[in-house]
Structures are given as C-alpha cells and as structure tokens.
Amino acid sequence: MMNKTTSHLELIKKINRSRILESIKDRGKASRVQIARELSLSKTTVCTIIDELLEKRILKTTGIANAGKNGGRPASLVSFNDESAYCVGIDIGGTKLLLLITDLAGNIVYEIKTPTTNKASEIAALVVKSIEEAKCSRDMIIGLGIGVPGIVRPNGVVIQASSLNWYNFDLKGSLQDALGFPVSLGNDVNLAAIGERWKGAGEKSSDIFFITIGTGVGSAIIADGRIVNGAGNRSGEVGHFIEKADFLTGNVYRFGEQGVLERKISGTALGKHGCNSEELFKRYSQGDESVQKVINEFILDLAVMIANSVTLLNPQKVIIGGGVSDALHPILPKLCEIVDALSPTKTEIKIATLGAKAGAFGAIAFLIDQVEQN
C-alpha cells in the first residue's frame, strides 16, 4: 500500500507532468531548460518527466535550439506528439449518431454518421468497426467520449435521456466492459460548448456562454475553462427563462411542454410561421414586410436573454450554435447592438463554426482532459 509520503510525491509529479505538457502545447516546441525556467522547476525534475513522456511517445524530439551567446552544447527541442494516440468521439442526436476518430490535436482520421441507437451493444460494435476501418491500432486508442441528449452524472450514469429511453442507465460502465478502454460521458450541449472552445469559435477562451437554438433552446457555461454543471447537473436551462410580462399573462412553465423562451425563439417556434428559419431570416434581410415583426420579436427576446446572462456571467464570448444558428448571420449586427445597449458588461457574440461536429469534438476534448487528469 502506498504511504502518505509516496502518495504526496506522486501527486506532485502528476501536477508537474500536467504543467509541462501544457507548457509544451502552448509553446509548440521547447527545450528542457526553457521549460524549467518558465515553470520554476529543477532541470532534473523536468528532464525526468520529459524522458518518460518521450518513452511513451506523448512527446517527440523536434530539432535543436539555436546556440546562445555564450556558445555551449545546443539544446534539443521537444514537442507534443499529436499522433501518439487516437480518440473516439460520439454525439448522439435525436435521429443521427455522429462518430469521429481524431488524433490528439483533433485532426479527423475517420468519420461516420448512422441512425441513432439506444443499445449500448450496438454503440460498442460501431466503435470497434470504426477503429478497424480507420486502420488504427487498438492499443493506440486512449478512449471514447460520448455526448448524450440528457442529464448525466459525473460517474457516467445517464439519469434521464427521454429521447433514448435511458433512465438511471450506467452507459459508461456498459461500454467500458464491452470495449476495455476509458469512456467519458457528458451532456450534449455542454460538450458542444467544449468542442467550440477547442476547435471552433471559442478559440480556447476560458469563459464562454454557449447557446444552442434548434428544436429547443439550451445553453452551457464555461467558467475558468471548466463546465459549470450545477448542483443537479441541470445548469443552462435558458429555454425556461421568463419575463414579468409572461408571469402576468399566465405564460409560465407547464410540465411536459417546452419552456417559455423556447416557445418564442426555438426552431419549432419559428417553424410555425409558414417556412423554415433559414427562409425567414433571408426574407427579413431582404426587407420582406410580412416577416419583420416575427424576426424583430425573435431578436429582442434573444437579446434580452443574452444581456441578462452576460451581466450575470461576464463571459469573454457568447457563442450561438444549434440548427438555427447558421441562419442568424443577417441579424447578428442588430443582435449585438441591442445586447450592447442592454448590458453594462461587454462581450463578443459569435456564431458557432463546427456545426453538427461540435458535440463529437467536445466529447473528444473532454475525454483527453479526463485521461490527463487521471
């Protein structure tokens, strides 16, 4: 059994390993001396950890540093080895399941979209088949990340995913038993936000308010680089936001129905006006009088929600994703103008760039983070 001193030393080494990896990722490449100086660590500590990471192929040697003014032996440079391992990411949607296999930098080596299934055995079989078709060695797969449209506990139990008929279902345990490598689970909207932060419009910002507008309306909060889950893992339910006028007119939450804000700005709500959201916004930008009132109300309802959220959360960026987001480019300047006028806290509002791949990318980024921590 490990004693307290040994355990403490292992923890310190784990923290230093993580710091060294982050430093090398940020720099692109660096020498042992540069890392030791930047992190205020001893050269012996840095060399020991880097040698271990080189042996495991997590790092690779990348040339020689320029000699300093005083000459001396040139220092070798090391960089992160993106191709040292591969990850599988899955985003489970209402009708489609998207699977990606990427290297550690997020470069896609395999992609497939299939009809959604709620059977863990079929998901596991798809993963095995995809790894084979991607011609990836099984021992180079570090794990599987999955985005689930529902409430997920940190231990990987799906509390509720109504569209998949999963209730208190240990999906993580089922898949790990079948696959034999680590599995991480998260809410699909939270993972889409992580995906946009990693490879999309978030540009690695530490504080992001992510909104998804599709059939419904939801959001995710990233604070100091981490998802805010809430006490019951149910944070971000902005589709249920209400205003004073809603209360006074009896327009409040009713069990089994969409939230009050969802009934105003979701794709479902927009679809009740005779055409899809893309056509509505196109006609609005062309000056079609018949849709001006509908879209102006949409802009104001969305702007009020964003302004209140920005005032509360103070994010660096607000990112709007989901099925409706691509249609929002024509109204983005006006939306930004109203939000800027309503909130004393300034932010940048952007449209998501990853589209349907955001959730799968986020599942992979979340998996890598979990593996690095453990």
State the pLDDT at residue 370: 87
CATH level 2 (architecture), domain 4-83: Orthogonal Bundle (1.10)
The rounded distance, in Å, linking the Cα atoms of 370 and 362 is: 12
State the pLDDT at residue 23: 86
**Three-state DSSP class for residue 325:** helix
Note whether 4-83 and 85-193+358-373 share their fold: no
Phi, psi of 234 (to 5 degrees): -125, 25
The mean per-residue pLDDT over the stretch 75-103 comes to 91
> In this structure, which CATH number among 3.40.50.2300, 3.90.226.10, 3.30.420.40, 3.40.50.1980 belongs to the domain 85-193+358-373?
3.30.420.40
Phi, psi of 48 (to 5 degrees): -60, -45
Query: Are 127 and 171 spatial neighbours (Cβ–Cβ below 8 Å)?
Result: no
The mean per-residue pLDDT over the stretch 230-258 comes to 89
With cut-offs at 50, 70 and 90, classify the pLDDT of residue 27: confident
The mean per-residue pLDDT over the stretch 276-291 comes to 92
Query: Looking at the predicted structure, is the pLDDT value of residue 1 above 70?
Result: no
Of 142, 125, 137, nearest in space to 182 by CA: 142
With cut-offs at 50, 70 and 90, classify the pLDDT of residue 6: low
> In this structure, which CATH number among 3.40.50.10860, 3.30.420.340, 3.30.9.10, 3.30.420.40 belongs to the domain 203-353?
3.30.420.40
Per-residue model confidence as pLDDT tens digits over 150-170: 999 989 999 999 999 999 999
State the pLDDT at residue 206: 93
State the pLDDT at residue 355: 94
Every domain of the chain and the residues it spans: 4-83, 85-193+358-373, 203-353
Question: Residue 32: enclosing H or E segment and its boundaries?
Answer: helix 32-39
> CB neighbours (10 Å) of residue 69?
5
Of 191, 200, 238, nearest in space to 216 by CA: 238
Query: Looking at the predicted structure, is the pLDDT value of residue 17 above 90?
Result: no
With cut-offs at 50, 70 and 90, classify the pLDDT of residue 84: confident
Whole-model pTM: value is 0.86
With cut-offs at 50, 70 and 90, classify the pLDDT of residue 301: very high
For the chain, give the number of residues: 374
With cut-offs at 50, 70 and 90, classify the pLDDT of residue 211: very high
